[in-house]
Amino acid sequence: MKMAKPVFRISVRNLVEFILRSGDIDNRHSVSDKEAMQKGSRIHRKIQKRMGAGYQAEVSLKWKTEYEDLIILVEGRADGIFTKDDITVIDEIKGIASDPEQMEAPVLVHKAQAMCYARMYGEMESLDQIDIQMTYVNLDTEQIHRFGESFMLEELKDWYQQLLDRYHKWVSYQLQWKELRNHSMQDLEFPFPYRDGQRQMVSSVYHAISAEKQIFIQAPTGVGKTISTIFPAVRAVGEGHGEQIFYLTAKTIARTVAEETFSFLKEKGLKFKVITLTAKEKICFQEETECNPKACPYAKGHFDRINECVYELWTSGHSYDRDSLQDQARKWQVCPFEMSLDLALWADGVICDYNYVFDPNARLKRFFGEGVSGEYIFLIDEAHNLVERGREMYSASVCKEEVLEVRKKVREKAPTLARSLDKVNRQLLSMQKECEGYQILENAGMIPLAMLRVFGELEKFMEESENQELSDQILEFYFSVRDFLNISELVDDNYVVYTENSEDGKFRLHLYCVNPAGNLNASLEKGISTVFFSATLLPMIYYRKLLSVRSDDYGIYVRSPFSKEQRCILTGVDVSSRYTRRNYSEYRRIAEYIARTVWKKKGNYMIFFPSYRLLQDVYNVYEEEFSVDWVRTVCQNPGMGEREREAFLQNFDIHDYTFAAFCIMGGIFSEGIDLIGDKLIGAVIIGTGLPQVSIRREILREYYTDKGENGFDYAYRFPGMNKVLQAAGRVIRTREDTGVILLLDERFADRKYGELFPREWDDRQSCSLATLEGKLEGFWKALDRPKN
């Protein structure tokens, strides 16, 4: 039986914008897409109504073109079709921010859209000749300027066929590649002997993807979470349950592990094209990321070369990391960041930071813009991090002092803009008079409306200003206004609106996203399945409420594959990190606990503190009273750069002395690093990790208390214990690892904290300073005994 040819669908707009784009990258006069779309839709409707009864508006058109291997279906809506002097005219309406009278010719891709519709309609209606009309209208003044052109249908058909032939080479290669890719998965087996819990995790992920569900997985360190999520996702793609995998993480090291996992599967026969997206600032060739042809040679003419550049790399390689992307970008003289985003469209797997999917200002519009969706599978590594990241991404603020500063700069050049800023300032001043410390409001009042006017005037100013230096100074404020307006449209019951007199002396109005689940879900709905996984998703009900709005999510708990004999978990119950107990006596007790632990067995240790202040206070006492020649120490410092971090981690090599690193819980060294074997044999964790009391933490506590939950748990206890478990997870990473986990705080003996420990920690023991050394000695001796 003859198989039906596959059909590739693409919109008229996407087709012409992809094939015919040209010119420079230039973001000096960036405008809000959402605002332009809203204004543009209103303008469209106005113009269409003015054109009279004979004007057909929003006419749906589509055209199939059959090739030897596939069919391309192009579809879209013509803005208008009407008859003038017995000739049919296709009208294409475009809203613009600039003066249309200054245009000398229509934009090529706009004209091409009209030509596509003319070709379709002309053949459908058997027309010999058909005209196109480009209608440009200013979004604010509604001033109109039109361009017209006549075509013979045969001329349009030839032009259209050439356009489609240029697109066909892309989809034809994609079709061949997918057949090769899927065939490579038919005999692909899990590449390792299954560890305890790993088979459960693999089958659960595959089942969730097949059922197009979300799943939450609490899986301890050592299970092999990366391979246990990537492998079943790859198999699901091969069996038609998805088309593209997004591996999302907040940590650079986790991205490296994902790359290595895909590479290992490729060594086993998998054919899969994988790209790792790198932040613009890190992949850019220039010292300053100024994306315009004047400042960057790679921006000049970028779109003239980009398609051939991407096609060459896509069809000649399977793995695209930072180095290979930069090499290709240099060869073709294009922007490496924009090139990577274009290539991602054609990749099977995309490894990237959370913000490429979720951040309303940074997410990939190619995948997650308005009306865009796909058969995406989301694998969210270290999912516990997404809670706070989500709150950050979906929150915004406006600062009164910044409003005044910009008003001062533009007063002479843009008086209308200055007056709009003055109105915002007066409204903020009124709020400030009512605010002592901070004040929760019912809503943001008239500020969003006033900011909308400011935004419109800012766009005009940026477009018309001849003073580039002044425009650059205003640009950051412009983006903050845009962000505020975007977030203001999301504000609902999951937000708290409040004002604050900050410690820096500035007054701010905040739109604070307390529960990011709904906003995160808006992006996840663009795909078909999501896997949330982490070593610390306890309690799972907490994370499900903050990361998902669905009621039918799956959830599994994977037990540790490691023997309990490999580690000793002790709780020091005669010591506290409470603020009320912080004094020399307590610091000395903590320092002695640390000393007696590291003296007992030569090796490398990490000592975790809830704050730099406590770290320094204890470290000073330790150095003064307990330092010895054969124990070397180092402290984590705030704001460590990449080289400093690398140097810090190099201390964990194997030495003939003991090494103790004093670190911060929840910091850069408390998760996402692998110090396996003898590189780390112990972690001392001081305190329950509770975040410091702050305005936002108190807002969280009050919010969840009002919802009938335990507000203290949501604001303090759960996030704190997450840091504790992450720090403890540094010790046992493989089957060969052994070590001590010492928890120092009387609160760890409390039932409310004990319930948050993993199930396999049920053998933890209490100790005191007097019994510590005996318990440690018993553990280390037991490990040294020969096994029967």
Write down all domains in the chain, each with its CATH number in brackets.
7-175 (3.90.320.10), 177-393+517-557 (3.40.50.300), 396-513 (1.10.275.40), 564-784 (3.40.50.300)
pLDDT tens for 737-762 read 899 999 999 999 999 999 999 988 99
CA distance 155 to 476: 48
Average pLDDT over residues 118-127: 96
Q: Identify the pLDDT of residue 7.
A: 94
3-class SS of residue 363: coil
Instruction: Name which residue leads in pLDDT, 681 or 785.
Output: 681
What confidence score (pLDDT) does residue 100 get?
87
The H or E element that residue 7 is part of is: strand 7-11
Strands (DSSP E) contained in 299-366 are 319-320, 349-353
> 328, exposed or middle or buried, with CB in 10 Å at 0-12, 13-18, 19+?
buried
48-57, 129-138, 204-213, 352-361: least confidently modelled range: 48-57
Q: Label residue 54 left, alpha or beta by phi (over 0 means left) and psi (-120 to 50 means alpha).
A: alpha
d(CA 227, CA 244): 17
Q: What percent of the chain has pLDDT over 70?
A: 97
Q: What pLDDT, on a 0 to 100 scale, did the predictor assign at position 490? A: 95
CA distances from 583 to 360, 575, 579, 588, 747 (A): 46, 12, 9, 9, 18
Cβ-Cβ contacts under 8 Å for 771 (sequence gap 6 or more): none
- With CA atoms as reference, report the closest residue to 18 among 310, 291, 230: 310
**CA–CA separation, 127 vs 123, rounded Å?**
6
> Which residue's structure tokens are 């001849």?
466
Average pLDDT, the chain: 92
Can you give the pTM of this predicted structure? Answer: 0.91
Decide if pLDDT at 43 tops 90: no
What average pLDDT does the segment 533-547 reach? Answer: 94
- Mean pLDDT of the region 620-631: 96
> What's the confidence (pLDDT) of residue 38?
53
When mean pLDDT is compared across 46-55, 157-166, 480-489, the lowest value belongs to 46-55
The answer to whether 156 touches 129, Cβ cutoff 8 Å, is no
210 pLDDT higher than 90: yes
Which of residues 459 and 758 earns the better pLDDT score? 758
Two tokens at 437? 């410390």
Q: Of 385, 410, 386, 412, nearest to 481 (Cα)?
A: 410
Q: CA–CA separation, 290 vs 47, rounded Å?
A: 37
Joined tokens for residue 392: 């950050």
- Whole-number pLDDT of residue 521: 96
Q: Distances from the Cα of 239 to the Cαs of 186, 481, 557, 741, in angstroms?
A: 9, 46, 26, 44
pLDDT at residue 787 greater than cutoff 70: no
pLDDT at position 31 is: 46
Residue 738 has what DSSP assignment?
A: -
Q: By the 8 A CB rule, do 361 and 523 touch?
A: no
pLDDT at 675 over 60: yes
Q: What is the pLDDT of residue 374?
A: 86
Q: Is 76's pLDDT higher than 90?
A: yes
Contact 715, 636 (CB under 8 A): no
Tokens of 640: 């460590």
| Burial status of residue 547 (CB atoms within 10 A of its CB: 0-12, 13-18, 19 or more) | buried
Of 14, 377, 62, nearest to 171 by C-alpha is 14
**Which whole number is the average pLDDT over 618-624?**
97
Cβ pair 364, 224 in contact under 8 A: no
Q: How far apart are CA 534 and CA 220, in angstroms?
A: 7
Residues 21-35: pLDDT tens digits? 999 998 765 544 444
- Provide the residue type at 363 as one letter: R
Provide the strand spans (E) within 648-701: 658-664, 682-686
Predicted confidence band of residue 459 (pLDDT cuts 50, 70, 90): confident
Q: At a CB cut-off of 8 Å and minimum separation 6, what does 563 contact?
A: none
Tell me if residue 566 falls in helix, strand or coil. Answer: helix
Q: What percent of the chain has pLDDT over 90?
A: 77
Give 558-617 pLDDT, tens digit per residue.
Answer: 988 888 899 999 999 999 999 889 999 999 999 999 999 999 999 999 999 999 999 999
CB atoms within 10 A of CB 213: 16
> Residue 3 has what pLDDT?
67
Strand order in the sheet with 244-249: 319-320, 274-276, 349-353, 244-249, 376-380, 529-534, 214-218, 554-557
